[in-house]
Amino acid sequence: MLFVTFVVLLFSQNTRAGAKAANVYHKIETDNSEKKIALTFDDGPHPRITREIISILKEYGVTATFFVIGQNADNYPDTMKLLSESGYEIGNHTYSHKNLKKMSEDEVVEEFRRCNETLLKFGVEPNLMRPPEGFFTDDVIKVSSTMEYDIILWSIDTRDWAHTPSECIVKNVLENAKSGDIILMHDYLSGYGGTCEALRIIIPELAHRGFEFVTVSELIGENA
């Protein structure tokens, strides 16, 4: 029987009594014959890179999940509007991408709330959140549960954020991809990034191997 792997308090210790833990997913355990996989993109929208990624996804007819920084959505409303109208899943990635481990519970609430309010202006009501750099605390778990967010991490880090050459990104993904994986990429990078170039190789090759690209929510829902 299929089951969902969920990690509660993955990087957290000593949860306060009575706090309801949110689900924390880094991948979904499935029968590998299913070959479901999720592309995710962090930190956008970016006025150029996000648009190029949307174009690539449409070219190959695949879907993805974007974890949006509220401040960037406010700064680039035209690109955010395009993203929201393109039909891809959108999650909360905080308003300003600060380290949540250094914040009080009230500050975490404000980061989530401001991002959520920005996304609502574009018709998006997220039910997923990804903490910046994957760092979270008891307070983040508590707030996520209250706001009914699942916390989404990843099982394959392409390290495109480190300006990794596209050929290395491709090698990493193709050598490690398994059904249920959540792949971390970025649609907002400073300077050179091999993300788009790598996508043009990764998507058709994984499709050739029989993988189906789904959103994170679809990946969770189909195997809950």
> What residues form DSSP beta bridges with 92?
68, 129
Could you give the CA distance from residue 163 to residue 185 in angstroms, rounded to a whole number? 11
Of these residues, 26, 42, 43, 93, which one is catalytic? 42
Sign of CA dihedral 91, 147, 212, 39: positive
Residue 204, preceding bond cis, omega within 30 degrees? no
Could you give the CA distance from residue 55 to residue 123 in angstroms, rounded to a whole number? 21
Centre a 10 Å sphere on the Cβ of residue 109 and count the other Cβ atoms it contains. 16
| Closest C-alpha among 37, 42, 28, 36 to residue 160 | 42
| Closest C-alpha among 140, 158, 119 to residue 37 | 158
What is the number of helices (H) and of strands (E) in the chain? 8, 9
CB neighbour class for 120 (10 Å; exposed up to 12, middle 13-18, buried from 19): exposed
Amino acid (one-letter) located at 191: G
Active site residue 208: no
Could you give the CA distance from residue 217 to residue 3 in angstroms, rounded to a whole number? 15
Of these residues, 46, 181, 186, 187, which one is catalytic? 186
Active site residue 26: no
Amino acid (one-letter) located at 1: M
**Catalytic positions:** 42, 186
